[in-house]
Structure 1
C-alpha cells in the first residue's frame, strides 16, 4: 500500500509537467518559448512569419536595421512589427490611443471595433490616390507587443482578410532575454538563405535573386 502511494507521488510531477507544456491557447501569435504548431515560416530572427503560395515578403528598414516585414498577396498587404513591452503590462491601449491621435492629425479618421484579436482600429489614412482604408491590430504578449496593419482588399473584404488574419495567428515572436525599453522595435534579420544570396551578390558571384527587399511603409505611425 505504501509502495503504491510512493509511486503516485513520483508520477505526479511528470503529469504536471506534461500539462504545463500543453498549449494554453488554440492560436497565436505565439511566443517562441511556448508550445506552438510547426509549419513553414520565414525566419526573420525576432519574428517567424508564416507564408503561403503566392506570398511576397518585403522588409521595413529604419536606417540599416530591419524592424518590420510586409506580406503581400493577391491585392492585400499585411505589415507586422514587434516591439518590447513591460513584463507585467501590455501597451496596446497606449499605442492605440497614439494611433488615433496621429491618424486624425494627418487628416484621417479612426474608430475602435471588436475583431478576432480583440479591440482594433478601423481607419482611413491619406494616400497618394485618396483615403486608404486600413485595420490596425494589436496583440500584447509576454514582454512584447505585436502590431499588424492590414490594407488593400483585405481591409474591406472578409475572405481576403481571413487569409492575413491566419498569418497573424501563426506568427512566432522571438523576444530574446536582452533588456529593452518599452516601444523599442525588436530587430529583425534576413533569413540565412537570403543573407547568403546577398553576400554572393555583393561579391559579384551571383545575380540578384533575393526576394527580400525594402518595402514602403504602410504607415509611419508607432
Structure 2
C-alpha cells in the first residue's frame, strides 16, 4: 500500500547553510510565480533557486522550512515535508508506467482506506492539480477535546513518474492558505532518471551536503538522530492534524 501506517519512520528537520540558500530568501524578496507544474527535469533543467534532493528539486522560497522523512529501519529518506507558516505539504515521487494514470489508482486506495476508519469523512473535489482527495478523521486535540485530523491529497502523473503531495495545516481546509502551498508544489521538479524502477517504487532521495539536524523543542537529539513524527501523540498516522502538519505514510 502507498497509503497507511508506518511506525518505522523518523523525521529530521534541517537548516540550509548559507551557500545553499537562494539569494531571494536572504534578501527577503518574494519569488515571481512560475508556470504551473510540477515539472519534469527536461522542462526545468536549471538548478539555480532549487534545493537538489536527487529525484526532487525543491524551490527555495522565503520562510520555507524543510523536514526530511526517514525510514527508521533503513535510514533512507522516503519523503520531504515543506512548511510555510501554519501549512505544510509532504512530497514523494514514485516510478510510474509509461501509460500514466497512477493517480487514479492511488486516489481510489486513499478513499477506501480513509472510509474504513470509523467516523471519518472523505471525498473527492476539484483542485488546482485536478481531482484531489479531502479527508477528515476524528481525533483528540492537544487539550483533550474532540477534533479532526484534516488532509488534502494531491497527485500529478508525469512522464514515467508520479508525484504525490499530502497537504496539512491551514492549507488543508482554508482556501486562502492553500495558494502558497499549491504554488510551492507546482514548482517542484522531478528527476526520474534512467534506472529501471517498477511502478510505485519510491524514487531515491539524497540530502545535499552540509545539511544539519535541528532538535525539536524539548528534545536533545544526538547528531544524526531523528525525531519521531507527530510527537507528542501516535506516530505514523496517515492524515495530518491541523496543528502539526503531515505525518508519515507507508510507501509499500
Q: Output aligned runs, 1:174-213, within 5 Å.
A: 174-194=191-211
Task: Give the Cα–Cα distance (whole angstroms) in 1 for the partners of residues 127 and 85 of structure 2.
Answer: 22
Which residue of structure 2 aligns with residue 69 of structure 1?
80
Match of residue 127 from structure 2: 115
State the structure with more CA Rg.
1
Structure 2: unaligned runs, 5 residues or longer: 1-33, 142-146, 214-221, 230-235, 237-246
Deviation at 1:39, TM superposition (A): 5.1
| 1:48-95 alpha-carbon deviations (Å, 9 max, x no partner) | 111322211001122311011001121111111011100122200000
Report the TM-score, using the length of structure 1 for normalisation: 0.75
2:105 to 94, 102, 126: 94
Q: Where do 5+ consecutive residues of structure 1 fail to align?
A: 1-24, 199-207
The alpha-carbon deviation at position 106 of structure 1 amounts to: 2.8
For residues 146-195 of structure 1, what are the alpha-carbon distances to aligned partners after superposition, in whole Å with 9 as ceiling and x for unaligned?
0001111111222221111001110000111111111111120111232x
- Of 13, 30, 34, the residue aligned with 2:39 is 30
Deviations along 1:8-29, one digit per CA (max 9) or x if unpaired, are xxxxxxxxxxxxxxxxx93210
Contact 2:44/2:189 (<8 A) preserved: no
- The alpha-carbon distance between structure 1 residues 73 and 183, as it changes in their structure 2 partners (threshold 3 A), is same
Q: Could you tell me which residue of structure 1 aligns to residue 63 of structure 2?
A: 54
Count of matched residue pairs: 186
> Conserved in 1, the CA contact under 8 Å of 2:91 and 2:164?
yes
Q: Does 2:220 align with 1:220?
A: no
Higher helix share: 1
Tell me if structure 2 keeps the 8 A contact 1:139–1:146: yes
Using the TM superposition, give the Cα deviation of residue 126 of structure 1 relative to its aligned residue in structure 2, in angstroms: 4.2
> Contact (CA 8 Å) 2:154, 2:166: kept in 1 or not?
yes
CA contact (8 A) 1:70 1:215 kept: no
Provide the TM-score with structure 2 as the length reference: 0.67
On the 8 A contact 2:69/2:248 being kept in 1, the answer is no
Q: Which of 66, 91, 96 lines up with 1:80 in the alignment?
A: 91
